[in-house]
Amino acid sequence: METEPALLELRPTCENCNKELPADSLEARICTYECTFCAPCVDNVLENVCPNCGGGFVPRPVRPSINWNGDNFLGHDPASTTIKHRPIDPALHGRFAPSYDDEDVETIPADACVLAIGQRADLDFLQPADGVALTPGGGVRVDPETLATSAPGVFAGGDVAFGPRNLIEAVANGKRAARSIHSFLSREAAEIESHLEIEKIATSRYRMIAGFEVLDREAPPTLDLARRTGISEVETGYGEDEARRQAARCLVCHVQTIYDPEKCVLCSRCVDVCPEFCLSLVPIEDLDLPEEERRHLAERAEAFGEVPLSAMVKDDERCIRCGLCALRCPTDAMTMERFSITERFAAAASGRSDR
């Protein structure tokens, strides 16, 4: 008998503060057991540690509200209405003091045992007179926007402020703190200048590496278990061939399909050729549109002699940028374009800007 796959339970509220988290909320965070909290509680209260399983959080995916494909949408699989409100005790959470039952012991035979322990910052050097407030978990308390601590002129980021995370976030924190330090010292708000470049790639030139879509992820080679001692590096790195294969799997998400409805002749070739079923040409009546927009479109259609209206719908999350839709399009209505965004930190007073 075929069983329905278990669905992600979209819970309606934050378990800690009971804030509403509708199905399309970009603030909802979940752990692997679907415990649901809001982003501020995860960042400021839980320090990215789930109080129920001890794991980390990720943003909750948004389930489509429109039936793009196979009844996989909110109308068929609605969000849960069961509220779980179990406010946590921040002091208890910060201590992370699990208790064990000595009677409940299991022996597992093994060749080697690798001890993976947590780590925490040693902040003994901070004195009360420094005025740097700490979190219940023993980290430095910061304003998540500016990374300012409670002591004027002292900023912190990375693991010491947010608990164990990753290098990318630590580097991003460094940049954010640098901006805040600039604002603090110069007493003027730091400005970000964004520069967007769009390049239309000639369809005749656009190619992905042959077979990229069927290449599997290969785990990097690792050191023998017995040799993993001290600070020896465990992953020894890909050889050139493997590295090239893995790089070929990149889905170049800075390249996008661009659709020009004025050139489209509704031939549906792009829809037919797409290997990922991203594209659909649908009658406008099938779209869930605000009434005013629908009226506006109907008026435009009337101006062209009441032609039936269609819409090109694309699921961008499935697109692998193979470019087949652009290649197949007879009128150049579907093209591939590359987007590059450069952000510069501009010092407002002097007009100087640094990347």
Ligand X SMILES: Cc1cc2nc3c(=O)[nH]c(=O)nc-3n(C[C@H](O)[C@H](O)[C@H](O)COP(=O)(O)OP(=O)(O)OC[C@H]3O[C@@H](n4cnc5c(N)ncnc54)[C@H](O)[C@@H]3O)c2cc1C
Least spacing, CB of residue 244 vs ligand SF4, in Å: 22
Least spacing, CB of residue 213 vs ligand SF4, in Å: 9
Specify the residue, 100 or 125, whose C-beta has the smaller distance to ligand X: 125
Phi and psi angles of residue 245, each rounded to the nearest 5 degrees, phi first: -60, -45
Residues 102-121 binding ligand X (CB under 6 A) are 119
Q: Is the separation of the CB atoms in 214 and 197 below 8 Å?
A: no
Least spacing, CB of residue 297 vs ligand SF4, in Å: 18
- What is the contact surface with ligand SF4 in residues (CB under 6 A)? 257, 259, 264-270, 273-274, 276, 278-279, 319-325, 328-329, 331, 333-334
Least spacing, CB of residue 220 vs ligand X, in Å: 11
DSSP 54: S
125 part of the interface to ligand X, by CB under 6 A? yes
Q: What, of ligand SF4, ligand X, none, does residue 19 touch, CB below 5 to 8 Å by kind?
A: none
For tokens 């390049």, name the residue. Answer: 199
Phi and psi angles of residue 155, each rounded to the nearest 5 degrees, phi first: -125, 150
Specify the residue, 166 or 222, whose C-beta has the smaller distance to ligand X: 166
User: What is each CA distance from 32 to 36, 39, 121, in whole angstroms?
Assistant: 10, 16, 26
Specify the residue, 12 or 158, whose C-beta has the smaller distance to ligand X: 158
Specify the residue, 273 or 297, whose C-beta has the smaller distance to ligand SF4: 273
DSSP 196: E
Specify the residue, 106 or 316, whose C-beta has the smaller distance to ligand SF4: 316
Q: Is the separation of the CB atoms in 79 and 10 below 8 Å?
A: yes
Phi and psi angles of residue 28, each rounded to the nearest 5 degrees, phi first: -75, 135
Q: Is the separation of the CB atoms in 163 and 94 below 8 Å?
A: no
The size of the chain, in residues, is: 355
In sequence order, what are the beta bridge partners of 140?
A: 134
Least spacing, CB of residue 61 vs ligand SF4, in Å: 20
Residues 150-189 binding ligand X (CB under 6 A) are 158-160, 165-168, 170
Q: What, of ligand SF4, ligand X, none, does residue 268 touch, CB below 5 to 8 Å by kind?
A: ligand SF4
Euclidean distance between CA atoms 41 and 28, whole angstroms: 10
The identity of residue 281, as a single letter, is: L
Specify the residue, 158 or 323, whose C-beta has the smaller distance to ligand X: 158
164 Cβ partners below 8 Å, 6+ apart?
118, 119
Least spacing, CB of residue 281 vs ligand SF4, in Å: 6
Q: What, of ligand SF4, ligand X, none, does residue 177 touch, CB below 5 to 8 Å by kind?
A: none
Residues that contact ligand X, how many (by CB under 6 A): 10
Euclidean distance between CA atoms 221 and 206, whole angstroms: 33
The contact set with ligand X (CB under 6 A) reads 119, 125, 158-160, 165-168, 170
